[in-house]
Copies of this chain bind each other. A is one copy, B any other.
Amino acid sequence: MFEINLKSRKSIFEQIVDGFKELIVSGVLKPGDRIPSVRDLSSQLTVNPNTIQKAYRQLDQEGWIYSASGLGSYVAERPEVTPDEGKLAELTVQITSIAKQMEYLGLSREDVLKRVAEAIGERRDSDD
């Protein structure tokens, strides 16, 4: 699935949460897909089940997955129609901070935008 880096500044918990977000957002995991059971992932990553559990609960609360006791955990439907403005606002704050730091490091505004555009897989030049 992914790997845990014990040396990272990120906590194991956070790495698992973010790891799943990446997988979902990048389309590797699709809505309805079953994700590993707490115990399975626990032994796969050699991480305590409690930690996995906590991560799953977090992802559940944030709406990324849902967990049905006795059945397993599944990737939630993609939030359609109404982009959650609350979450969006939070992400905008984060992205702003990072974008400004990149600019400060010497990147031109154009270059920052280019990197983001590449990141989400869009050609900015051709058919913009």
Q: Does A26 sit at the interface, judged by CB under 8 A?
A: yes
A120 CB → nearest B CB, Å = 5
Q: State A106–B91 Cα separation when bound (angstroms).
A: 13
Q: How many copies does the complex hold?
A: 4
- Of B11, B68, B69, B119, the contact of A96 (CB 8 Å cutoff): B119
Q: State A31–B47 Cα separation when bound (angstroms).
A: 21
| 13 CB-based A-B contacts, threshold 8 Å | A6-B68, A6-B71, A11-B70, A18-B97, A21-B101, A24-B104, A25-B100, A80-B106, A96-B120, A99-B120, A100-B119, A109-B120, A109-B122
Chain A interface (Cβ within 8 Å of chain B)? Answer: 6-7, 11-12, 18, 21-22, 24-26, 61, 66, 68-71, 74, 76, 78-84, 87-88, 91-92, 94-107, 109, 112-113, 115-117, 119-122, 124-125, 128
Q: In the complex, which residues of chain B have a beta carbon less than 8 angstroms from the beta carbon of A84?
A: 105
Check B61 against A101 for contact (C-beta < 8 Å).
Answer: no
A22 CB → nearest B CB, Å = 6
